[in-house]
Amino acid sequence: MRIICVDDYDQMSKKAANIVASQMILKPNSVLGFATGSTPLGMYKQLIKTYEDGHIDFEEVTTFNLDEYCGLSKKNDKSYYYYMYENFFRYVNIDMKKVNIPNGMAKDINKESLAYERKIRSCGGIDLQVLGIGRNGHIGFNEPDIKFEALTHMVKLDEQTIQDNSRFFDSIKDVPTKAISMGIKTIMHAKKIMLLASGKEKAEAIYGAIYRKITPELPASVLQLHPDVVFVVDKEAASKLDLEKLKEEYL
């Protein structure tokens, strides 16, 4: 586990974008795993800039997103498909046929989940998976007490997640209560993982992910077992960590 602690959100975004860009330069046909939420927005902006400056090319890239709300179509402006297109994909030369986001409108979610897993595997697996983290330590939409061996599946959202994500909706009643999400096992299969966190409301989850015992009660704690994971966190998200001790352990 590597931990990169930077000053603020802006630096976190730049660092994260550089890590994605270097993956793309080293392997132009990379399979990238992307996340939604507020945290990676700055990283997407930076990646667009890096693309516009001519340093990266998305032509051969394939992407898989972590999750999607059940019941929201691609056209719904609250869906993660819409988020990815409007905030990122429309600005770069990605082939939308190589963009994969779970279909939250699928009639048979189990079938959709299985097909998503097969597609990831047929593309050779995810080279670099980007993650955010929920205040309760969720990754993707894998809420506390999820089974570590879960692959892509339908999940029921935690009250806290519904509350946290209600800021994107007109009313809390509009927040879907279910989603389709890559499972912990899907995430752990990625060759490299990069988790991003900014702000003091993430400090407890970051502390737990790095130092607490590995337990499904704190899904992100499983990342301690991954052979190639980097946390890019700002000072506030790192505020519960002992940075001097971290230097000895991780830098």
Ligand X SMILES: O=P(O)(O)OC[C@H]1O[C@](O)(CO)[C@@H](O)[C@@H]1O
Catalytically annotated residues: 67, 136, 138, 143
CA dihedral 242, 245, 248, 251 (to 10 degrees): -10
CA dihedral 58, 81, 110, 178 (to 10 degrees): 140
CB of 53 to ligand X, least distance (A): 26
CB of 165 to ligand X, least distance (A): 5
Q: Which is nearer to ligand X, 37 or 104 (CB)?
A: 37
Q: How far apart are CA 36 and CA 140, in angstroms?
A: 9
CB of 38 to ligand X, least distance (A): 4
Helix (H, G, I), strand (E, B) or coil at 43: helix
Q: How far apart are CA 246 and CA 242, in angstroms?
A: 6
199: closest CA among 104, 134, 123, 130? 134
Q: Which is nearer to ligand X, 27 or 239 (CB)?
A: 239
Contact by Cβ (8 Å): 50, 17: yes
Strands 2-6 and 229-234: parallel
Angle, CA 116 vertex, CA 82 and CA 114 arms, to 5°: 135
Contact by Cβ (8 Å): 140, 90: no
Q: Which is nearer to ligand X, 132 or 216 (CB)?
A: 132
Lookup: tokens for 200: 């003091």
Chain positions contacting ligand X, by CB under 6 A: 35-39, 132-134, 141, 161, 165
Contact by Cβ (8 Å): 35, 13: no
CA dihedral 54, 56, 61, 65 (to 10 degrees): -110
CB of 36 to ligand X, least distance (A): 5
Residue nearest to ligand X (CB): 132
Q: Which is nearer to ligand X, 140 or 216 (CB)?
A: 140
Q: Tokens 């670099």 map to which residue?
A: 128
CB of 123 to ligand X, least distance (A): 21
Q: Which is nearer to ligand X, 18 or 38 (CB)?
A: 38
